[in-house]
Structures are given as structure tokens and as C-alpha cells.
Amino acid sequence: MSFFIIIRGPLGCGKSTISEKLADILKAKYVAMDRIVDDPNLIIREKEEGYISQNNFIKANEIAVERIKKHLKNGKPIVFDGNFYWKSQIEDLISRLNFPHYVFTLKAPLKVCIERDANRTKTHGKMAAMVVHKKSTEFDYGTLIDVTKPLKECLNKIISYLPIINK
């Protein structure tokens, strides 16, 4: 069954961990949106209000959609992982894909995000965690998931909202 999932939230909240595990469980295609935005060969960085511009994220959507269209047409679910701190990026991605979709906002206090980032192999740093947390928590979108709970509990909560696929 074709559908796509957007997992969004601040840096260090567990988006990639949850998205990658969810993609494995669902046998879905995993798309790391922030990797597309960060690739200088794909996107020339512009700033807006001190953040990566909405235009950069819209361009990332274009690139991602081209990469995954055939997967959706063949019935494979897609899991998008990213900060999605501009509402326009979420709405643009949804408008580009005429398939059922589910959006989950991962919620964690700033302190938790900073601690998790500090424990990574490649840390982004406290200031980056603070800046991205501030911007990505300006609004909620979709279903809210408290990611201070154990990973398995978070995954089960997300899966409970999805169409039945050999759960």
C-alpha cells in the first residue's frame, strides 16, 4: 500500500533513529531530507531569518520527490526524516505527492535534544541544537509523539496510526 510518512522535529530528538527503524519495520524507502539540503552539489544555501531558507527546502522536496515517485507508484511506503521547521516545506511536499500521508512531530525538551546530540559520533553542538529546537518547535503539525518515552513505545505509537501492514 502506498503512503508516505513525514517524521519532523528538532535536532537530537531521535528523528533519524525512529525513521530508520520505522522504514525497516514497514519495508519502506527512507529519505533523509536534511542530507539533501546539506549537499552543496544539489542546493546552494540561502538564508532566511537566520535559518536555511524555505526555498532551499522546497528545492529539496523537488529532488526527493523525483527520487521516490517510482517507489510510491510500486506500492512502497516512504519515510521522510527532517527538521521540517518551515510549515511551507511540509505543505509543499504533501501537495507534490497524491498519496495518503501521515505527519508526526517528535517532541522532546531542549535539554534532552542537547544531551542526545552530545552523545552522537558526529555532534552538531549545543548552539545548533538550541537554534533548530527554537525554530522547529514554533508550530506542531500532525500527530505529536513524546520521544522521551522508550524507542519501542514511540515506534508502536506511530505504527498505531498507520494502515495495517503485517503489524
Convert 31-45 into a string of H (helix), E (strand) and C (coil). Answer: EEHHHHHHCCCCCCC
Q: Residue 165 falls within a domain, yes or no? A: no
Rounded Cα–Cα distance for residues 46 and 55 (Å):
8
Q: Residue 167 falls within a domain, yes or no? A: no
Q: Give, in degrees to the nearest 5, the angle at Cα 18 between 20 and 104.
A: 115
Structural domains in the chain (count): 1
The mean-pLDDT minimum among 23-32, 44-53, 124-133, 157-166 falls in 157-166
Structural domain of residue 12, as residue ranges? Answer: 4-160
Residues 20-67: tens digit of each pLDDT: 999 999 999 999 998 999 888 888 889 999 899 999 999 999 999 999
At residue 134 the predicted structure's pLDDT band, cuts being 50, 70 and 90, is very high
CATH for 137: 3.40.50.300
Q: Residue 55 falls within a domain, yes or no? A: yes
pLDDT score, position 167: 43
The mean-pLDDT minimum among 36-45, 53-62, 71-80, 90-99 falls in 36-45
Rounded Cα–Cα distance for residues 50 and 62 (Å):
23
> Per-residue DSSP letters for the chain?
---EEEEE--TTSSHHHHHHHHHHHHTPEEEEHHHHHH-TTT----EETTEE-HHHHHHHHHHHHHHHHHHHHTT--EEEEE---SHHHHHHHHHH--S-EEEEEEE--HHHHHHHHHTSSS---HHHHHHHHHHHTS---SEEEETTS-HHHHHHHHHHTSPPS--
pLDDT score, position 44: 85
Q: Residue 154 falls within a domain, yes or no? A: yes
Closest-CA residue to 147 (of 115, 121, 123):
115
Closest-CA residue to 21 (of 109, 128, 147):
147
Answer whether residue 1 shows pLDDT above 80.
no
Mean model confidence pLDDT for the chain: 94
Q: Residue 166 falls within a domain, yes or no? A: no
Q: Residue 151 falls within a domain, yes or no? A: yes
pLDDT score, position 165: 59
Q: Residue 27 falls within a domain, yes or no? A: yes
Mean per-residue pLDDT for 102-121? 96
Rounded Cα–Cα distance for residues 118 and 101 (Å):
32
pLDDT score, position 69: 93
Q: Residue 76 falls within a domain, yes or no? A: yes
